[in-house]
Amino acid sequence: MARGAAGMFGALVVLTMAAAAPDYPGKYVIKNAANGRRLGNSGLGFFATAYGPITEEHMWRIHAEGNNSFSLSNVASGSRILAQTGFDGAQGFFTVADGPVYQDQKWHLMMQSDGAFVIANAKSGRKIWAADEGRSGSFGASALASEGQSWWLIRQDIDESRWLRAELAAERQSTAMLVAKVEERDAKLENFQQRTEAGCPLGAAPWRPPDLGHLGAWDWSSADRTLSLYLLTGLLLLGLLNIHLNLQLQKERGAGRREEVASDAVSPTPAFCDAGPGLGHDFGYHILDTDVNGTAFRFIKIQCPGVEHEDVSVDLLFNGCQVRLSRRAACGVAAAAWAKRFEFPHEEGIFEFREDQMCLEHGFLHLAFRTHPFQSRRVRFPRHFTLTATDTDDWWDYPGKRQAPPCAPAAPELGKPGKICPDGKASGEVASSTLLQRAQDPLAAMIAGGEKVLRG
């Protein structure tokens, strides 16, 4: 009997927990409360970004898995988020698309006082966090407390604010009726005062309007004060209703239950994002700026079902590329050819095409460009030595009329002493051209000196 009662009690507890577990129907955007980054999953991997419009790559389905735990699966790829035990940060934190739902793929959604959630793994206890985008290692899951662990769960397929708007309209209508009633009573009171001033018998009983309600119980000496009290009470209620409705709307915005539109997803920092014709049809494309391990990248994703690797041709351009795709006819698929020129403005920097990250899988062509911001700087030659640097100094500049320097001693010839002037003429008795040549040529001077030594 006791065992049966215990079994019934356990079953009752399980049923109570199952009934108390919240339900999350529809599609949700999981958005960080601190920096606005959204969880996403695509052919490029598992990421968190605040840039670009909201697509199905940023939407998740929340499935109940028992024991108040849930699995998070991406709408576009069907991949589930997991966090393995024994790792931290980005290690052991990724998505899988196949296989059963193991314990490390289940998450507890712990609601905070502000309406946001902390998402903790049911097995490892690691909590999903995201810091400001652009920092290295700014996205992962850790068991210890970290910044950026609060997340909004924003349902995309409904707008719950319409109920508040309907309630606001009803309360405004009620307030307008109350004001109209007060104005009507004020007009009747003014009419009564005019009749009293016109002359009313003193012994006559005070006249009371038949529809003034509780005002009839008061002496008309305090009628003005009573009516003023009613008017002030109505105005006070109107102000309180407006305050209440404003608080409700602010709480609704803070809880993240409004439908988020693409314009709200634009980052305060300008970022290039060209949705193009959008994905979902043949040769649709999407361009997105994101951060991969602290490095800025620009990705182009082109939907091209039926296209093989040999059907892809990419011609590189300055800050872009020319893409040509051709699809051969197959069963149920018509042949097609498509070309598109992608060029990015040079004001946004230099875009380097990464051939090692180009891939074609699951009917999508992925192209990657690494962004290098342009930095302006001045370039000059280093100090350069040249033999002509001193050609223009004063050492070689002479006036038009020069004074002849004093005559230099000339080398004696045949024992005749004399002096040679710079004009080539000998002073004294020596005036031959041979003597002049020897005086101007150092080698001749040396020979003359040697002859003098030999004769001496």
Residues 229 and 306 in one domain: no
* Residues 210-257 pLDDT 10s: 454 444 444 445 556 677 778 888 888 888 888 888 887 777 766 554
| pLDDT beyond 60 at 366 | yes
Alpha carbon distance 213, 340 (integer Å): 79
Range of the domain at 306: 285-372
| pLDDT beyond 70 at 281 | yes
* Residues 27-46 pLDDT 10s: 999 999 988 899 999 877 89
More reliable by pLDDT, 324 or 230: 324
Burial bucket for residue 47 (CB in 10 Å: 0-12, 13-18, 19+): buried
Mean pLDDT (the chain) is: 75
Two tokens, residue 448: 């003359």
* Residues 385-411 pLDDT 10s: 777 766 666 565 555 555 555 554 544
One-letter identity of residue 404: A
| pLDDT beyond 80 at 19 | no
The backbone torsions φ and ψ at residue 119, rounded to the nearest 5 degrees and listed phi first, read -105, 110
The residue out of 155, 188, 218 marking a domain boundary is: 155
Residues 198 and 334 in one domain: no
Span 124-138, mean pLDDT?
85
> pTM, whole model, 2 decimals?
0.36
CATH number for position 81 = 2.80.10.50
Alpha carbon distance 271, 267 (integer Å): 7
Would you say residue 267 lies in a domain?
Answer: no
* Residues 72-91 pLDDT 10s: 999 998 999 999 999 998 89
Would you say residue 274 lies in a domain?
Answer: no
pLDDT of residue 227: 73
Q: Is the dihedral of CA 382, 385, 389, 390 positive or negative?
A: positive
Would you say residue 278 lies in a domain?
Answer: no
The residue out of 254, 276, 298 marking a domain boundary is: 254
